[in-house]
Amino acid sequence: MNGLTRRERLIEDENIINMILEKSKVLHLGLVDGDEPYVVPMNYGHVFENGKLTLWLHGAKTGRKLDVMRKNPKVFISMECDIVPFEGDVACKYGISYYSLMAKGTAVIVEDVEEKKQALSALMKTQTKKDFEFNDRLTEVVSIIRIDVKEYTAKFRPAPQK
Ligand SMILES: Cc1cc2nc3c(=O)[nH]c(=O)nc-3n(C[C@H](O)[C@H](O)[C@H](O)COP(=O)(O)OP(=O)(O)OC[C@H]3O[C@@H](n4cnc5c(N)ncnc54)[C@H](O)[C@@H]3O)c2cc1C
């Protein structure tokens, strides 16, 4: 895979990819606003089955990210977990171990009430590991964005062996 250094490992095991999705909690949503990049940190919910990844985001019903994705729905996301700094005997041997995932996809602003409920339940499941149900009124006050992921890559950067 392009972009891997010799210290990093490509992750293809779907159990480990699920672990990254469950633990990261926050993703960085990259958008293209005209000719400028725009990146927004957000919580998310996910479903990852048979290699197909869908993410849902929730937020206010107005704002820059919504304006941007209405014009250009192409997005790129990154997330990371298990971030552990390690030390070395010289500066260049210090570092950080991590798991990370990056993906490109398309943003869809969800209007269907049943899908909005499903999205909010997925978001709460990812964030809290608990099951929540939502009524119609709660879906009216938020916007829901679905990210249909087209391609993803995941990496593990282990700490050096002592
Ligand atoms: C850890 C974390 C988790 C978050 N989770 C969510 C979430 O689940 N849902 C959600 O809607 N929002 C979340 N936020 C807030 C989110 O990052 C945005 O601030 C918010 O969604 C508004 O985005 P917008 O594009 O509509 O901004 P607007 O309100 O339209 O922003 C206008 C301008 O304000 C500045 N700005 C916007 N957001 C930020 C920011 N976070 N930090 C610094 N400057 C900013 C930018 O310069 C932007 O151009 C989270 C933030 C953090 C740090």
Asked whether residue 128 is assigned to any structural domain, the reply reads yes
Taking Cα atoms as reference points, which of 99, 96, 95 lies closest to residue 80?
99
- List the one residue out of 43, 126, 47, 49 whose CA is nearest residue 77: 43
- Residue 83 forms part of a structural domain: yes
- Number of folded domains that form the chain: 1
- At residue 160, the pLDDT reads 87
Within a domain: 150? yes
Among residues of the chain, what percentage have pLDDT more than 70?
Answer: 96
Domain presence at residue 34: yes
Where in the sequence is the domain holding 120, given as residue range(s)?
Answer: 9-157
67 CA to middle of ligand 1, Å? Answer: 13
104-130 residue pLDDT tens:
999 999 999 999 999 999 999 999 999
The CATH number given to whatever domain includes residue 133 is 2.30.110.10
- Mean pLDDT along residues 64-93: 97
Per-residue pLDDT tens over the stretch 31-53: 999 999 999 999 999 999 999 99
Instruction: Calculate how far, in angstroms, residue 41's C-alpha sits from the geometric centre of ligand 1.
Output: 7
pLDDT recorded at residue 2: 55
Using DSSP's 3-state secondary structure scheme, residue 17 falls into helix
State the closest ligand 1 atom to the C-alpha of 68, by its place in the atom list counted from 1: 25
Residue 141: inside a domain, yes or no?
yes
Residue 2 lies in a domain: no
Domain assignment present for residue 4? The answer is: no
Q: What is the mean pLDDT of the chain?
A: 95
Q: In this structure, is residue 162 part of a structural domain?
A: no
| Atom number, ligand 1, closest to the C-alpha of residue 59 | 11
Count Cβ neighbours within 10 Å for each residue of 116-143 and write b for 16 or more, e otherwise.
bbbbbbbbbbbeeeeeeebeeeebeebb
Q: How confident is the model at residue 161 (pLDDT cuts 50, 70, 90)?
A: confident
Distance 121 CA to ligand 1 centre (A): 21
Position 4 pLDDT exceeds 80: no
Model pLDDT for residues 128-151, shown as the tens digit of each residue: 999 999 999 999 999 999 999 999
Q: Whose CA is nearest to atom 40 of ligand 1?
A: 40
